[in-house]
Structure 1
Amino acid sequence: MDDLAEALDRALPQTQCTRCGYPDCRSYAQAIAAGEAGINQCPPGGAEGVASLARLTGRPALPLDPAHGREGPRQLAVIDEAWCIGCTLCIKACPVDSIIGAPKRMHSVLDALCTGCELCVPVCPVDCISLVDATPGHTAWDAWSQAQADEARERFAFHRMRLVRDKAENDERLARKAAAKLADLPTASRIEDPAALARKRAIIEAAMARARERRGTGD
């Protein structure tokens, strides 16, 4: 089943839009391989995508399930510079890191990397993100190449790795900060309740161990 899931994943457009009902393309591919999802739940892949999944699974091709959306031109996110407040929520929502910017600074979309997933739109608190047709008259795989899908897949993998790394670094930073505060406590406070102090130290040491484990180090 792992080989089938891998083949199905590579046949998907890798927009990571979640319209299939799953959190990412890989999860959808795994669900198809396990017989838990239909092959007609990916609007960005369109009818051609359904046909590819049908060939891989041996299932009959079906029309796209309208509950998951319709086939259409690839969308491109556009940020209105006049309204952007630099909240960074769209940056966090983008699954392929195609939005750049800094806190309280105007953000921009890297057009060539945007998959049209639309996930940045609902998180914007000032509604400054709109969608435009990037491929008028061309839909699904006619509007999205295999090379683009491969790059989006790699960028999504890096995005997920970066999130894990950033969380591990943040956890370790907080653990060190807590340890420093504990070390600065007056001696009387530290020895007043040895059991409570031991519990705090155990919690801090466990947090630091988890952070090191997430970072893949044994330091």
Structure 2
Amino acid sequence: MRIQFDNERFDIDQRPDECPICHHGIEPEEISFHVIEVGDVMRSDILQIFYRCPRRDCQNSFIGSYRKSTVGARVRGPFRLNSTAPQRTKRLSFHKEIEDLSEDFVEIYSQAHIAEQKNLLQICGPGYRKALEFLVKDFAVNENPDDEENIRKTYLSTCINNYIDDANIKSCAERAAWLGNDETHYTRKWEDKDLQDLKILIELTEGWIRNVILTKQYNDEMN
């Protein structure tokens, strides 16, 4: 794909197809460019294109940063889109049942998500693990209010084993805890699993908890 600014032409692999600020799919407008020349031989290595979001509700500008692969002093291929900035993190939405159950889970999970969006991958994992613990323990307290003090003090694994009766919640929460521990320990046990697997298991745990809450609600209302 070739783009042109007055007498300057550049071959790029793609335009950004999402605005990093409003997160809608777009065909951005090119406004201007800047080339950063690096290396002993003055070769064009980094291209920054100043874009504008065409959406009426947004209209923000942002920068698409492109790089070329280099071998020695030779530059090969088109400029390839590397990143867009500034990035405004996407707001997460949670079901009302989960928000009512555990405000702390919603807040902690949202903060971990922001860290992940900023590519802070070494710290978002422990954040997701902490969010899981608040979700499970708040649900356990909700189901066993007389044991609240013990639930708050006990280890997450013990809480899952002793206070979670639903088989689906127990299974998913247990495995989420295993992967969450991998995010906080020096050595990983589950080498074939990663952060995305942890998030999926937390989402499954959250979904099964909501199912239990709603099932109980409708059973009580329609007894």
TM-score tier after normalising by the smaller chain length = under 0.3
Structure number with larger C-alpha Rg: 2
Which one has a larger percent helix, Structure 1 or Structure 2? 1
Query: What TM-score do you get using the length of structure 1 for normalisation?
Result: 0.27
Q: Which has the higher contact order (CA 8 A, sep 6+)?
A: 1
Query: What TM-score do you get using the length of structure 2 for normalisation?
Result: 0.27
